[in-house]
Amino acid sequence: MKKCVLYFLLASCATSAFAGVSIYSPTSGSTHSSPVHFAASGSSPACSKGIGGMGIFTAPYKLAYKVGGSKIDTYLSLSNGTYNAVVQQWDNCGWSATKAVTITVGSGVPSGTSAGAFTNLQSDSHWNGYTLMPPSYNICGSCTPSGPAITYSTQQGISSPSLSGRSMKFSIGGTMQFGDVLWNQKFTSRLPDPKAVGNYHDFTYDVYFYGTDLEKSQALEFDINQFVGGKSFIWGHECRIASGHEWDTWNNVTMHWVKSGIPCKPKSNAWNHLTIHVQRTSDNHLYFKAITLNGYTASTGRYDSPTATSWYGMTINYQMDGNQYQQSYSVYLDKLNFYYK
């Protein structure tokens, strides 16, 4: 067989019978804000010497990134526009393979998302923090951030670790086993028309998070909430870390977590990109549509019923759960955006 010349425009010489590229992030057709997370791997079953290196071309002959070995996991700073990017691998036997991915870099609004948005909430001043005490986990009205049973704090404008240059640090500790802290953002009064909450049916929670030791977390929770027409719609999503590395979703009626079977394995010492997409159906049911973590999208596909409430509005929550030792840990959030339509 003819040996391929290892150049971008001659990638058609590569043969999947001997080599292959798998791209996990970004997905083709998606829209991102810069920097863009690229994750990919290469394989070459016919070459016993393995993969020598991999690269990312953001335009013909423009090698934006190259690394030795068979894995790519990096963030590229890209200007606004559409990119027909190509990920290429080179094995140690002279073969090459490529795979293309088309993305748009711009506002960071996920594909198919329009209407309203609250962006860069990690730098927003409207955060509220609450202590949740076991076993009831109701909000503790007399608790303070200094504890001592459950302690918590936040810090904004963190330059490192950060993607935007201004991440937000959330910390939890204390002495009470399985103590939790919830933070939320209330959007109702900040909408163009606060009386129009009921007009919105489609919601996306988009965030990057980073922890140096995420295994100390019992769980991380990301919720979207809508209270309208005397009904409470809570799209609760919990990434169980210490208790199984799996996504759960909230059953509004029975007030219990429902196992999804979807793995949740965020990486420590790395930025994890999470996107949650939910909807309120035309007949007023909750639809848990999809979860995307680090480029892997899983269809949640669960419907639920709302419960009665006197509340009115639209909010999101971010929650950190303590483990059986209530070990102190911190998580940084960045590029936190909420989209509604």
Q: In this predicted model, what pLDDT tens digit does every residue of 173-189 receive, in sequence order?
A: 999 999 999 999 999 99
165 Ramachandran zone, left/alpha/beta (phi>0; psi -120 to 50): left
* Chain segment 206-224, per-residue pLDDT in tens: 999 999 999 999 999 999 9
Distance of CA 51 to the CA centre of its chain: 30
**Band of the pLDDT at 34, cuts 50, 70, 90?**
confident
Residue 18 has pLDDT above 60, yes or no: no
Helix (H, G, I), strand (E, B) or coil at 149: coil
pLDDT of residue 105: 82
Q: Rounded to whole angstroms, how far apart are CA atoms 132 and 130?
A: 6
Lowest mean pLDDT among 18-32, 80-94, 173-187, 267-281: 18-32
pLDDT for position 19: 52
Q: How many CB atoms lie within 10 A of CB 165?
A: 11
pLDDT band at 12 (very low <50, low <70, confident <90, very high): very low
Nearest in space to 325 (alpha carbons), one of 220, 147, 172, 182: 172
Rg of the chain taking only CA atoms, in angstroms = 22
pLDDT band at 14 (very low <50, low <70, confident <90, very high): very low
User: What is the predicted pLDDT for the residue at 17?
Assistant: 40
More confidently predicted of 35 and 340:
340
pTM over 0.75: no
Model confidence at 7: pLDDT above 50: no
Confidence category of residue 243, pLDDT binned at 50, 70, 90: confident
pLDDT of residue 115: 62
Q: What is residue 24's predicted lDDT score, i.e. its pLDDT?
A: 86
Q: What pLDDT score does 16 carry? A: 37
Predicted local distance difference test score (pLDDT) of residue 114? 46
Q: Which domains does the chain possess?
A: 8-105 (2.60.40.10), 116-340 (2.60.120.260)
Q: Which residues are CB-contacts of 117 (< 8 A; sequence separation ≥ 6)?
A: 109, 337, 338, 339, 340
Residues 6+ apart with CB under 8 A from 61: 7, 8, 9
CB 108 within 8 A of CB 59: no
Reported as a pLDDT band with limits 50, 70 and 90, residue 228 is very high
DSSP classification of residue 301: E
Across 297-320, b (16+ Cβ under 10 Å) vs e yields: eeebeeebebeeeeeeebbbbbbb
CA dist., res. 182 & res. 172, Å (int): 10
